[in-house]
A and B are shown apart, each in its own frame.
Chain A
Amino acid sequence: MSFLETHALGVRYGGIRAVRGVDISVEEGETVALIGANGAGKSSMLNAIAGVLPHTGRVSFDNEDLTNRPVFDRVRLGISMVPEGRGVFGRLTVEENLLMGAYLGNSQKDQDLDLKQMYDFFPRLKERRRQTGGTLSGGEQQMLAIGRALMSRPKLLLLDEPSMGLAPIMVEKIFEVIRGVSKTGVTILLVEQNARLALQSSQRAYVMESGELSITGESNELLYSPKIRSSYLGEGD
């Protein structure tokens, strides 16, 4: 069994069948991208795996059946999500936001260690540790959201549109961070509209279309596939 597996996953969202029976699998240590047009059901997939949206079908992770587990239980098992729009707590300070990520535990010592590591990783956040999350720029908020998700020492990191609304230079930085996180051994499932970046930063990818999988394959092959190039990379021939 794979590290993360969905079987016939279905999600209804706002009265529409946003995801219609999708099977994906992710191996431990991999970075897998989920790409597709707006409204293809990528975010719904991610939210269902995190336990934020109810779903039909099955989700298993690390040999545990997640199907009926509430979201906080999935966090306990090692799944951490950076939600779309980042979900930074605007009235909590940067440091409090980071500490929220460590809510479920670890000793005080580990927590201090992780906090220090995040500050080494994101010096910008250290400068702004006493500021409230709402005063940060979009890019800083994205860093905070990723740092916060890492504070729970996740085995699986779910990233929902990390580049959304960010300046190109910030997007570069964020993806550098994501590749760095991957190198530490964390498994990543990445939903991203910027297909090129997503493919460049992952080993494998699934392409979704109207709630179903259309193409799957190795990311570096998909980068050169004519269909992907014309539909998702904006390189019409």
Chain B
Amino acid sequence: MDIFAQQILNGLVLGSVYALVALGYTMVYGILGLINFAHGEVVMIGAMIALAVVSILLSAFPEMHPLLTILLAGVSAILVCMALAFLIERLAYRPLRNAPRLAPLITAIGISILLQNIAMIIWGRKYKTVPQIFPTETFELFGASITSVQIFIITISAVLMTGLLVIVHFTKLGRAMRATSESQRVAGLMGINVNKIISVTFMMGAGLAAVAGILIAGNYSVVHYSMGFMLGLKAFTAAVLGGIGNLGGAVLGGLLLGLIESIGAGYIGDLTGGFLGSHYQDVFAFVVLIVVLVFRPTGIMGERVSERA
């Protein structure tokens, strides 16, 4: 088995999930200038809801087709996460729309802690195993092995990301979102209900987050109330790497970060003579964050269009 090819493949799988989550960060940032630190927790809630629905369906209808089970679980998780994001924006962020920027940021961190604790109370403190719904098959690809779950992750992510880019760039709703992110005042003058567009943006991000939660739960076969925290930070890093506020940047940043982490973790042992092991994987994301912030704070694609007066 080719180790390098394997790391690239693992990196792409991980990166797809980062990209899905990073899109949520970057969309909200683009429209409100807010870093929604509660976004990682929405991913976790998505995974938890999906797991709960799967457990109920498996015990109530053991004969149900696995695809239908996963579909129902996915739809439930998406709907719950969208409702949750709607409420977070409506109740926590909107009253602070005109407050100093620090206020909503701290509120976001507060919501993140609140959601973690609520999840802990509901689902307990232990790691929960995800039942295997599909029989996992392994395939060979360029000398690397890929599981059916991994293929599923990459496919679903690619479809959703393409769908989002199409919506944002080629539909009336997307045009309104882009207009609102440039100027809420002028968007209002076009007859756009800016609050509605902001709600929709939060909900779209949350829908992607729910799917990301399910994918990551499927990949690692385990969920935990704190799983959204680190994932959220990394996706945020991915968004900054790509250029926060830029959708294509979020996708690129997510994939790159996944690759960097995966390849880094694969070779860090050799590079340090065994002094540091692959459990230092998380270090890479934050080294990347620091490097980007120091040398290119606007990220890879975060070039501002010049706006002549």
Contacts and interface: CB of A to CB of B under 8 A. Distances in A.
Given A90-B307, A134-B305, A134-B307, A100 B188 contact: no
Question: Considering residues A50, A89, A92, A134, which has the most beta carbons from chain B within 10 angstroms of its beta carbon?
Answer: A89
A146 B175 CA distance: 19
Contacts of B190: 75, 100-101, 103-104, 148, 152
Contacts of A89: 178-179, 182-183, 186
Contacts of B306: 134-135
Contact of B309 (A76, A92, A165): A165
A52 B175 contact: no
A96 B171 CA distance: 10
Given A91-B178, A96-B175, A99-B175, A52 B188 contact: yes
Interface residues of B, number: 22
Nearest to B182: A89
Contacts of B182: 89-92
B306 to A, nearest CB: 6
B221 interface: no
Given A89-B182, A103-B176, A137 B191 contact: no
A72 interface: yes
B186 A104 contact: no
Contacts of A90: 182, 305, 307
Given A134-B306, A134-B307, A92 B188 contact: no
B193 A100 contact: no
B104 to A, nearest CB: 21
Given A103-B190, A134-B306, 6 more contacts: A51-B188, A81-B189, A85-B309, A87-B186, A99-B172, A99-B175
Interface of A: 50-52, 70-72, 75-76, 80-81, 83, 85, 87, 89-92, 96, 99-101, 103-104, 132, 134-138, 141, 148, 152, 165
